A and B are shown apart, each in its own frame.
Chain A
Amino acid sequence: NAGVMQNPRHLVRRRGQEARLRCSPMKGHSHVYWYRQLPEEGLKFMVYLQKENIIDESGMPKERFSAEFPKEGPSILRIQQVVRGDSAAYFCASSPERWGDYEQYFGPGTRLTVT
């Protein structure tokens, strides 16, 4: 049973470009969470999604960031017009049910570098 998969593992973008980060949850998991880990900082929650729905986006920056989890395919975290401050590790986690009741499994992360 494959774990949470994220790709790409490393992504380099120039300022102003778009970054697309993908997350495939574990088989049977319908809940996806995105977290960001800035250099020398802790993990910060960004957004929680179920299939086709955003449940909680209280941690998402108001501009340039968006997330989706379509009926078919992986969850996508999209960052438009990237800036240097977006450089971070972005982690996706999945659970079979709502967080708080079940273990949450993390992917290996995507390391975004903005040059």
Chain B
Amino acid sequence: SQELEQSPQSLIVQEGKNLTINCTSSKTLYGLYWYKQKYGEGLIFLMMLQKGGEEKSHEKITAKLDEKKQQSSLHITASQPSHAGIYLCGAPDQTGANNLFFGTGTRLTVIP
């Protein structure tokens, strides 16, 4: 089955700093989804990447999918306290699969 490893597991940054979170797959990625979860709340959809080399941006968050490396990265520019939370990457086990596997998450703290 699909296994997703996220690094780092936790991250503490000063407000205004840039940061990168990585998600590495044990198998070929057929798509990669990034979510953000506030502690004790549900998941907020951030971005979906489907093609190798694809890059998407929304506000100060950019995500890339590198199929060759079976890896995706999430980059936040000029971090703000509102970016704090747990970032989760998820991927289907195969093309068109119903089943999404998730990484264990990266806990981001932004110090004002």
Report A's interface with B, CB cutoff 8 A: 4, 6, 33, 35, 41-45, 48, 55-56, 58-59, 91, 93, 98-101, 103-109, 111
Contact between B104 and A55 (Cβ–Cβ < 8 Å)? no
Q: For the complex, give the distance between the alpha carbons of A53 and B31 in Å.
A: 26
Q: Which of B12-20, B42-50, B54-62 forms contacts with chain A?
A: B42-50
Which residues of A sit under 8 angstroms from B99, Cβ to Cβ? 45, 48, 56, 58-59
Contact between B92 and A42 (Cβ–Cβ < 8 Å)? no
Contact between A45 and B104 (Cβ–Cβ < 8 Å)? no
Contact between A104 and B88 (Cβ–Cβ < 8 Å)? no
Contact between B98 and A108 (Cβ–Cβ < 8 Å)? no
Contact between A106 and B97 (Cβ–Cβ < 8 Å)? no
Which residues of A sit under 8 angstroms from B35, Cβ to Cβ? 106
Contact between A42 and B105 (Cβ–Cβ < 8 Å)? yes
* Closest A residue by C-beta to B92: A100
Which residues of B sit under 8 angstroms from A91, Cβ to Cβ? 42-43
Contact between B45 and A99 (Cβ–Cβ < 8 Å)? no
Q: Within B78-100, which residues are at the interface with A (CB < 8 Å)?
A: 88, 90, 92, 95-100
Subset of 6 A-B contacts with CB under 8 Å: A33-B98, A42-B102, A42-B105, A98-B98, A99-B98, A111-B40
Q: For the complex, give the distance between the alpha carbons of A44 and B31 in Å.
A: 17
Contact between B45 and A100 (Cβ–Cβ < 8 Å)? no
Contact between A105 and B45 (Cβ–Cβ < 8 Å)? yes
Q: For the complex, give the distance between the alpha carbons of A1 and B103 in Å.
A: 30
Known pairs A42-B105, A43-B90; A99 contacts B100 (CB<8 A):
yes
Contact between B100 and A45 (Cβ–Cβ < 8 Å)? yes
* Closest A residue by C-beta to B104: A42
* B27-70 near A? 1/0 per residue, CB < 8 Å: 00011010100001111110010000000000000000000000
Contact between B92 and A107 (Cβ–Cβ < 8 Å)? no
Contact between A104 and B33 (Cβ–Cβ < 8 Å)? yes
